[in-house]
């Protein structure tokens, strides 16, 4: 099921992540999308696939709450979410920022994904 509006993409991401479905995760990204990782940028679906294969391994689980959706009305939207990642006893949490773009078929895909947005202050 695709995201038919920007606010739906987080729910699809969370479902795919918690099922360990790397193919479904990658399908949420444009072919040349950028995912920021601890090792730099994963650019393109194959690099994003490799990044998620490591993240979902070992029965990892995630909780995610959409905090803001700013829709430009021109086919781009900015999203922010709070998240918590668990693998075994290790828990990591943070805030993400993503840019999604409306596709020709009306669905939305990630263009830029920064899972560790720094707070400014």
Query: What pLDDT, on a 0 to 100 scale, did the predictor assign at position 18?
Result: 96
Extract the tokens encoding 13: 């991401």
Extract the tokens encoding 15: 């479902």
- Topology annotation, domain 6-114: Nuclear Transport Factor 2; Chain: A, (3.10.450)
Query: What pLDDT, on a 0 to 100 scale, did the predictor assign at position 119?
Result: 56
Query: What pLDDT, on a 0 to 100 scale, did the predictor assign at position 43?
Result: 97
pLDDT per residue over 1-58, tens digit each? 799 999 999 999 999 999 999 999 999 999 999 999 988 899 999 999 999 998 888 8
pLDDT per residue over 69-121, tens digit each? 999 999 999 999 999 999 999 999 999 999 999 999 999 999 999 999 875 44
> Does position 59 have pLDDT exceeding 90, yes or no?
no
Contact 49, 22 (CB under 8 A): yes
pTM of the model: 0.93
Query: What pLDDT, on a 0 to 100 scale, did the predictor assign at position 89?
Result: 92
Contact 62, 17 (CB under 8 A): yes
Alpha helices in the chain (DSSP H): 9-19, 22-26, 45-55
Contact 97, 78 (CB under 8 A): yes
Q: Where are the domains of the chain?
A: 6-114
Round to whole Å and give the CA distance between 90 and 52.
Answer: 17
């Amino acid at each position: 099921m695709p995201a038919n509006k920007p606010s739906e993409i987080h729910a699809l991401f969370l479902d795919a992540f918690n099922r360990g479905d790397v193919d479904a995760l990658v399908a949420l990204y444009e072919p040349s999308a950028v995912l920021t990782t601890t090792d730099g940028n994963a650019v393109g679906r194959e690099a994003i696939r490799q990044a998620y294969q490591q993240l979902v391994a070992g029965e990892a689980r995630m909780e995610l709450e959409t905090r803001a959706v700013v829709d430009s009305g021109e086919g781009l939207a900015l999203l922010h979410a709070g998240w918590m990642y668990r693998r075994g006893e290790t828990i990591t949490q943070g805030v993400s920022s993503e840019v999604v773009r409306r596709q020709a078929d009306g669905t939305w895909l990630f263009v830029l994904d920064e899972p560790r947005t720094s707070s400014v202050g």
